[in-house]
Amino acid sequence: QPVYLADYTPPPFLVDAVHLTFRLHPEKTRVLSRIEFRPTPGVPASRLFLHGENLHLIDAKIDGTAITPEITDEGLTTDAPDAPFTFEAEVEIDPAANTALEGLYLSNGMFCTQCEAEGFRKITYYPDRPDVMGVFTVRIEGDQPVMLSNGNPVARGDGWAEWHDPWPKPAYLFALVAGDLVAQSDRFTTRSGREVDLNIWVRPGDEDKCAFGMAALRKSMTWDEEVYGREYDLDIFNIVAVDDFNMGAMENKGLNIFNSSCVLSTSETATDDNFERIEAIIAHEYFHNWTGNRITCRDWFQLCLKEGLTVFRDAEFTADMRSAPVKRISDVIALRARQFREDAGPLAHPVRPESFIEINNFYTATVYEKGAELIGMLKRLVGDEGYARAVDLYFTRHDGQACTIEDWLAAFEDATGRDLAQFKRWYSEAGTPRLRVTESFNNSTYTLHFEQETPPTPGQPEKHPRVIPIAVGLLGPNGDEVVPTRVLEMTGTRQSFSFDGLAARPVPSILRDFSAPVIVERETTNAERAFLLAHDTDPFNKWEAGRALARETLLAMIRDGAAPDPAYLDAVHTMLRDDTLDPAFRALALGLPGEDELAQTLFGLGETPDPQAIWEAREALDITRADAMQGTLDALYAAHQVTAPYRPDPDQAGARALANAVLGLITRRDGGARALAQYDAADNMTLQLAALGCLLRAGKGADVSDAFYRQWRHDRLVLDKWFGLQILSADPAEAAETAARLTEHPDFTLRNPNRFRAVLGALAAVPAGFHHASGRGYRLMADMLIALDPLNPQTAARMCAAFETWRRYDPARQEMIRTQIDRILAAPGASRDTIEMLGRIRDG
């Protein structure tokens, strides 16, 4: 049942042109197709196989003659001429019954599609693989006021609209939207003078939530022209907001479809973090037009070819639009929380996987975020200019093609003359390398000794040394930088690098800017960490030093109930008072390592984490910090009140982030007085939501929470925040009950993935609550997965990752989790998606 990368064969038939006619009807949509096929030159003749699932075939013809193909659950097989021919079919599908949200479905009465990865086969019979690229012409017939598809509009009349996309594309980039929609519109002139109509389509009533998204789109278009030399290539660019959507957004050619949470915003309903995320996702989908659409993937094993590169590009964009250090630090926090966790557990897989059962299960942090880290390492290794040349070569050489990682790396080798054979291991070997560092100093020569080792991962017991770019700088004893950043290239298992002419033993700043996705292990002291927090010139490592200090402090507290290290308290206090530091940076440096990160760290050290003890240590440290820095916190809170009208820009957002972080500590002392005042005065969601969170954590949130619900019950996206926050702010002993109660709430539904994730995703995100010794968290998760799986396998399967860390815990917890995994697997109608995920989690 698994598919293997090694088994790839080229498609026997290619598609020149596709004509589709949709006769829309909620339960009985007819799809008429006319596909021009031609045998692939050089590929042995074979029968024609077309993917198709849950389709009711009305009739089929080849070159005008009716045929009776063989039909299975997977598709249709028929004899075909060994020369160009036309295949025609009419099928009937039922969008209203489509709860999986893959293929053509209804969301609030609006017809919409999601085809990546393999959803087009639920629309009509087709070679649904990305290396088959065709030119699509689409006619939509129906009574919807707005009917959209890919490419440019050709003609429209009463009850119909026609679209033509001149760019050949794989079926996964097909899209159709039809409904009662209104647009916020704008215009963009590309640098070569093409006039492009821009539209963000929403349900009536949401028009005022598009302005920020539109500005983000314009910025993305300009940035891709200026930085990558890439222009838009159609006369129209449409974005549609859809409430029911499995993922964040989708880059369909000329018709991007977005989860409404990733595009709609107003200052009253969206937080600063939401705004930043919306800007990044709009950029991400727009950037796919070149990295994904013009150049696509040969097969789904190459997913990182488009996703890693596009995540890297959107991160560069955000760094340019906002603060580069803050973006880098936030990305590393997320990478460690999600990707390192994945890489250390049973779901670990290479950035380019070599087999899968359900490709939807591989839209992972490893493919996306680690995939982006690999691009960053490549860029560091070949330099900015080499990178620009290589990427240009990639674009010119492969425009219009379906490519592989080999093609991508060959462009780098040819443009820069560098051999990337060893670098390629980053794509094929899973697991996070450990980088052990020791040092020596004599006669003014300082030497760093590195040793790399990657632990085994499922199916990959043996690992090989990788090329690791290690950005290093050295600081002198009084805090000056004596050696500025230089990139050491480690290729062996063990390697040493020396620095001459040093008057005194320096303090090293290793892996600056997080130059490789590895775990650095080095014996050091809290005094040295505090020194780096105070003096490092590299913002990432400055933050990292504070993070390490907090981690060591917490580990000591967790292990033997030690009191918080005064060195940590002093260092963080000094950092907070340094007004030369960006408030956003200070907010990040005030944050503590997450409970899950601490659990992973302890497990990595051979210990069994106790989720409750971890939670208590973080609580205790917060109380200590609130006491130790009382005056500073009050002053910071006052100094970072924004008086200007709300703008979601980095300066204002940084001030609010610091004020809100500080408010969390202040609430530890004042029991919520200031949070309540902030709640009452708030004119934006960033301040309102943070205040509500503080009050809920202080046990003073019940009335305010009710008021919040009454204020926002009409707004689905805000209600999602309300659902989640109650669980995130609950005492561990009550988190599972709170979540269970919320699943009974009249506004809870399994039909909306955002709502499901708001509740169950929040439960999975509070380790002490989810892993509560009662097992209630596990049971609730299993109950809800069993309920969701038959309706929406994709969203259910993704949530299964909540269980991926089970082997970290004690035998009692392991036993409880295993029981729940087996119960889900035994449920009637368990999906292929979920069976694959839980099987890997249980047996990996």
Task: Point out which residues bind Zn ion (CB under 5 A).
Answer: 307, 310
Q: What is the per-residue binding string for ligand ARG in 743-782, x denoting contact by CB under 6 A?
A: ----------------------------------------
Q: Which of 48, 117, 590, 599 touches ligand ARG (CB under 6 A)?
A: 117
Which residues on neighbouring strands pair with residue 452, listed in sequence order?
435
- Return the exposure string of 45-78: e unless at least 16 CB atoms fall within 10 Å of the residue's CB, then b: ebebbbbbbebebeebebeeeebebeeeeebbeb
- Give the residue with the Cβ less far from ligand ARG, 54 or 447: 54
Min dist. Cβ of residue 368 to ligand ARG (A) = 7
Instruction: Tell me: does residue 118 bind ligand ARG (CB under 6 A).
Output: no
Residue 360 interacting partner from ligand ARG, Zn ion, none (CB closer than 5 to 8 Å by kind) = ligand ARG
Segment interacting with ligand ARG (CB under 6 A) among 45-53, 86-94, 160-168, 243-251: 243-251
CA angle 88, 91, 93 (to 5 degrees): 150
- When binding is defined by CB under 6 A, the residue of 53, 116, 162, 343 that contacts ligand ARG is 116
Name the region of 27 (left: φ>0; alpha: ψ -120 to 50; beta: rest).
alpha
Which distant-in-sequence residues (6+ apart) come within 8 Å of 642 by Cβ? 652, 655, 656
Contacts for 812-818: CB closer than 8 Å, 24+ residues apart? 812/773, 813/771, 813/773, 813/775, 816/775, 816/778, 817/778, 818/842
Q: Encoding tokens for residue 141?
A: 């017939």
Q: Which is nearer to ligand ARG, 367 or 663 (CB)?
A: 367
Nearer to ligand ARG, 114 or 452 (CB): 114
What φ, ψ does residue 646 adopt, rounded to 5°?
A: -60, 130
- 247 vs 555 by CB, closer to ligand ARG: 247
Using the rule CB under 6 A, is 251 a contact of ligand ARG? yes
DSSP state of 460: B
By CB under 6 A, is residue 833 in contact with ligand ARG?
Answer: no
Q: CB under 6 A: which stretch of 244-252, 621-629, 781-789, 833-841 binds ligand ARG?
A: 244-252
Phi, psi torsion values for 199, nearest 5 degrees: -135, 140
Residue 568 makes contact with ligand ARG by CB under 6 A: no
Tally of CA atoms within 13 A in the half-sphere of 222 that contains its CB: 10
Minimum distance of ligand ARG from residue 117's CB (angstroms): 5
Stretch that binds ligand ARG, among 122-130, 241-249, 433-441, 618-626 (CB under 6 A): 241-249
| Closest approach of ligand ARG to the CB of residue 319, in Å | 19
Closest CA to 632 of 550, 565, 573: 573
Task: List, in order, residues 6 or more apart from 393 with CB less than 8 Å away.
Answer: 411, 414, 415
Q: What is the dihedral of CA 675, 678, 679, 682, to 10 degrees?
A: -160
Pick 253 or 380: Cβ nearer ligand ARG: 253
| Tokens describing residue 411 | 């462009």
Instruction: Rule CB under 6 A: say whether 331 interacts with ligand ARG.
Output: no
Choose among ligand ARG, Zn ion, none what residue 330 binds, the Cβ cut-off being 5 to 8 Å by kind: none
**Span from 72-80, 246-254, 578-586, 602-610 in contact with ligand ARG (CB under 6 A):** 246-254
CB of 372 to ligand ARG, least distance (A): 11
Q: Which residues, in sequence order, are CB contacts of 64 under 8 Å at separation 6+?
A: 86, 88
* Binding to ligand ARG in span 656-715, by CB under 6 A: none
Mask for 256-285, x = binds ligand ARG (CB under 6 A): ----------------------------xx
CB of 2 to Zn ion, least distance (A): 24
Of the pair 99, 705, the CB lying nearest ligand ARG is at 99
**Contact flag: residue 367 with ligand ARG (CB under 6 A):** no
Task: Please tell me the count of residues contacting ligand ARG according to CB under 6 A.
Answer: 14
Nearer to ligand ARG by Cβ, of 292 and 376: the residue is 292
Give me the least distance between CB of 307 and ligand ARG, in Å please: 6
Q: Which of 138, 178, 234, 247 binds ligand ARG (CB under 6 A)?
A: 247
Residue with smaller CB distance to Zn ion, 798 or 813: 798
CB of 284 to Zn ion, least distance (A): 5
Nearest to 612 by CA among 453, 812, 373: 812
Q: In angstroms, what is the minimal distance from the CB of 279 to ligand ARG?
A: 15
Residue 249 touches ligand ARG, criterion: CB under 6 A: yes
Expressed in percent and rounded to 5, the helix, strand and coil fractions of the chain are: 45, 20, 30
Distance CA 100, CA 246 (A): 8
246 contributes a contact to ligand ARG by CB under 6 A: yes
Enumerate the H helices of 399-442 as residue ranges.
405-416, 425-428
Quick check: 369 binds ligand ARG (CB under 6 A)? no
Burial of 158 (0-12, 13-18, 19+ CB in 10 A): exposed
**Which of 113, 302, 360, 688 forms a contact with ligand ARG (CB under 6 A)?**
360
Closest to ligand ARG by CB, 280 or 548: 280
Q: How many CB atoms lie within 10 A of CB 568?
A: 26
- Segment near ligand ARG (CB under 6 A), from 247-255, 449-457, 594-602, 665-673? 247-255
Q: In what order do the strands lie in the sheet with 445-453?
A: 494-499, 445-453, 434-442, 519-522
Using CA atoms, how far apart are residues 680 and 659, in angstroms rounded to an integer? 16
- State the nearest-atom distance from the C-beta of 252 to ligand ARG, in Å: 9
From the list 250, 405, 786, 788, which residue makes contact with ligand ARG (rule: CB under 6 A)?
Answer: 250
* Catalytic member of 53, 276, 285, 804: 285
Separation between Cα atoms, residue 33 and residue 30, nearest integer Å: 10
Contact region with ligand ARG (CB under 6 A), list: 50-58, 245-253, 263-271, 545-553: 245-253
- Partner whose footprint covers residue 181, from ligand ARG, Zn ion, none (CB < 5 to 8 Å by kind): none
Instruction: Name the DSSP class of 563.
Output: P
- Reference 15, options 158, 216, 184, 171; nearest CA is 171
Cis ω for the linkage preceding 675 (within 30 of 0): no
User: Would residue 285 show up in a list of annotated catalytic residues for this protein?
Assistant: yes
Assign 406 to helix, strand or coil.
helix
Nearer to ligand ARG, 32 or 281 (CB): 281
Among residues 687, 717, 723, the alpha carbon closest in space to that of 705 is found at: 723
Shortest Å distance, C-beta 102 to ligand ARG: 6
Report the residue number, 161 or 309, with the smaller CB distance to Zn ion: 309
Least distance to ligand ARG from the beta carbon of 311, Å?
A: 8
Q: Are strands 519-522 and 434-442 parallel, antiparallel or unpaired?
A: parallel
Binding mask 75-114 for ligand ARG (x = CB under 6 A): ---------------------------------------x
The CB density around residue 344, as the number of other CB atoms within 10 Å, is 21
List of E strands, 735-809: none
Q: What angle do CA 526, 529, 531 make, to 5 degrees?
A: 110
Interface ranges with ligand ARG (CB under 6 A): 114, 116-117, 246-247, 249-251, 284-285, 307, 360, 363, 794
Q: Which residues are catalytic?
A: 285
